[in-house]
């Protein structure tokens, strides 16, 4: 029988459509194997082609030989510009603001053939430290209201370049969607005196049928009202509103958790296209007791269609409990290549 479930945080309803249910196995990608080389002559992000990118913002050098580990450059096709004033304008129903902002490309690795699922934990920790470094630096700019860090992997996830890379967009406004989620979390805090995420994590760890991976500092799980199959958020277990508050110990643990979850998706579902994004408190809310940052990982296995666009509700054809069980069973090696 089909079921409606309501997202605890956003209050949005999701249809768990068991009548059109798919077993988790039904969503495995069956793509022809493709040989990807570690160096592609025409790729602007490959080692040796550094002159093909816009100016470098920062890099993580190698300890010994090799070119570099991670590079950050300005996005050649930036959505926003640091050279525009964020001036507001209101004319009747038309509200606009100068397109001020920062748009970084973070080149995850010099190796074209890698993906986070196949990198070493040490390398991923370096990548996360770069995320944090740019996040911290931009959060200090009073013109910047919100920093979004994200990754598009594969064409269905909106990636236009194959070389593994992440992006950061810093905006002079906070989106209405983020404001609204904050308001829900604040309402909960005002009513119950605790962070709704902390309370939720405690419950989910006690009854772990939706938990995919639990470590000392993080938990990865399928949400009870997950809007799409295998969407797998990773939450820090300690209360923190902002990604910038993550400690060095937590970064090392997160590197392992992120790699393990992405490797489970990679191996279990056949390298699906996916997005991930860090949902963190906007700069002006650093330190609040009612919000809790997390990483949202969204495999792009299904398409948003007219019902979702019209109603705002999603239809999920895989039971979240079945997805969690499937991912728990995918065996991932605990130590992998040198990346």
Separation of alpha carbons 158 and 248, rounded Å:
31
Site for a copy of itself in 48-87 (CB under 8 A): 77-81, 84, 86
The binder of a copy of itself chosen from 49, 53, 133, 148 (CB under 8 A): 148
- Which letter does DSSP use for residue 229 in this model? T
Least distance to a copy of itself from the beta carbon of 304, Å? 7
Site for a copy of itself in 279-308 (CB under 8 A): 279, 296, 298, 303-307
Name the one residue in this structure whose structure tokens are 């001036």.
87
Q: Across-strand partners of 276? A: 151, 297
Q: Which of 152, 139, 143, 149 is nearest to 169 (CA)?
A: 149
Closest by alpha carbon to 38, among 118, 116, 117, 111? 111
Of 70, 119, 159, 219, which lies in the binding site for a copy of itself, with binding defined by CB under 8 A? 159
295 pairs with which residues across the strands? 234, 278
* 8 A C-beta contact, residue 109 and residue 126: no
To a copy of itself, the closest distance from the beta carbon of 328 in angstroms equals 20
153's enclosing H/E stretch is: strand 146-153
- Selected from 277, 286, 330, 336, the binder of a copy of itself by CB under 8 A is 277
CB of 313 to a copy of itself, least distance (A): 5
Pick the closer one to a copy of itself by CB: 1 or 140: 1
Widest Cα–Cα separation across the chain: 60
Contact call for residue 270 and a copy of itself (CB under 8 A) = no
Site string for a copy of itself, 3-42 (x = CB under 8 A): xxxx-x-xxxx-xxxxxx----------------------
According to DSSP, residue 241 is labeled: S
Scan residues 174-193 and list those touching a copy of itself (CB under 8 A): 175-178, 180
Residue 306: how many other CB atoms lie within 10 Å: 7
* Burial of 170 from C-beta contacts in 10 A (0-12 / 13-18 / 19+): buried
Q: Which stretch binds a copy of itself (CB under 8 A): 52-60, 88-96, 108-116, 117-125?
A: 88-96
Q: How far is CA 131 from CA 71, 117, 147, in A?
A: 11, 18, 11
Query: With contacts defined by CB under 8 A, how many residues of the chain interact with a copy of itself?
Result: 79
User: What would you report as the CA-atom Rg of the chain, rounded to the nearest whole angstrom?
Assistant: 20
Interface stretch with a copy of itself, choices 27-35, 95-103, 122-130, 136-144 (CB under 8 A): 95-103
With respect to a copy of itself, which residue has the nearer C-beta, 15 or 261? Answer: 15
CA distance 294 to 233: 7
Near a copy of itself in 106-145, by CB under 8 A:
none
120 vs 167 by CB, closer to a copy of itself? 167
Tell me if 337 contacts a copy of itself by CB under 8 A. no
Does 225 contact a copy of itself by CB under 8 A? yes
Is the CB of 3 or the CB of 66 nearer to a copy of itself?
3
Residue 90 or residue 335: which is nearer to a copy of itself going by CB? 90
Smallest separation (angstroms) from a copy of itself to the CB of 94 = 5
């Amino acid at each position: 029988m089909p079921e409606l479930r309501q997202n605890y945080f956003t209050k949005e309803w999701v249809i768990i459509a068991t009548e059109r249910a798919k077993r988790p196995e039904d969503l495995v990608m069956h793509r022809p194997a493709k040989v990807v080389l570690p160096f592609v002559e025409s790729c602007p992000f490959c080692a040796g082609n550094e002159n093909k990118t816009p100016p470098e913002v920062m890099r993580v050098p190698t300890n010994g030989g090799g070119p570099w580990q991670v590079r950050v450059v300005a996005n050649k096709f930036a959505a926003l510009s640091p050279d525009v004033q964020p001036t507001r304008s209101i004319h009747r129903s038309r509200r606009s603001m100068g397109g001020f902002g920062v748009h970084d490309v973070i080149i995850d690795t010099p190796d074209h053939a890698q993906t986070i699922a196949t990198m070493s934990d040490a390398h991923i920790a370096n990548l996360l430290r770069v995320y944090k470094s740019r996040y911290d630096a931009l959060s200090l700019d009073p013109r910047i209201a919100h920093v979004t860090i994200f990754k598009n992997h594969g064409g269905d996830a909106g990636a236009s370049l194959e070389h593994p890379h992440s992006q950061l967009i810093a905006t002079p406004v906070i989106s209405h969607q983020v404001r609204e989620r904050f308001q829900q979390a604040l309402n909960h805090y005002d009513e119950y005196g605790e962070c709704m995420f902390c309370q939720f994590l405690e419950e989910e760890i006690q009854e772990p049928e939706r938990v995919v991976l639990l470590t000392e500092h993080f938990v990865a799980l399928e949400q009870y009202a997950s809007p799409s199959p295998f969407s797998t958020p990773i939450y820090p277990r300690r209360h923190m509103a902002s990604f910038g508050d993550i400690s060095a110990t937590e970064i090392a643990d997160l590197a392992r958790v992120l790699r393990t979850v992405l490797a489970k998706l990679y191996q279990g579902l056949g390298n699906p296209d996916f997005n991930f994004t860090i949902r963190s408190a906007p700069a002006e809310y650093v330190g609040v007791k009612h919000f809790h940052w997390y990483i949202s990982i969204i495999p792009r296995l299904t398409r948003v269609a007219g019902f979702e666009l019209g109603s705002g509700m999603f239809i999920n054809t895989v039971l979240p409990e079945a997805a969690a069980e499937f991912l728990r069973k995918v065996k991932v090696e605990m130590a992998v290549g040198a990346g």
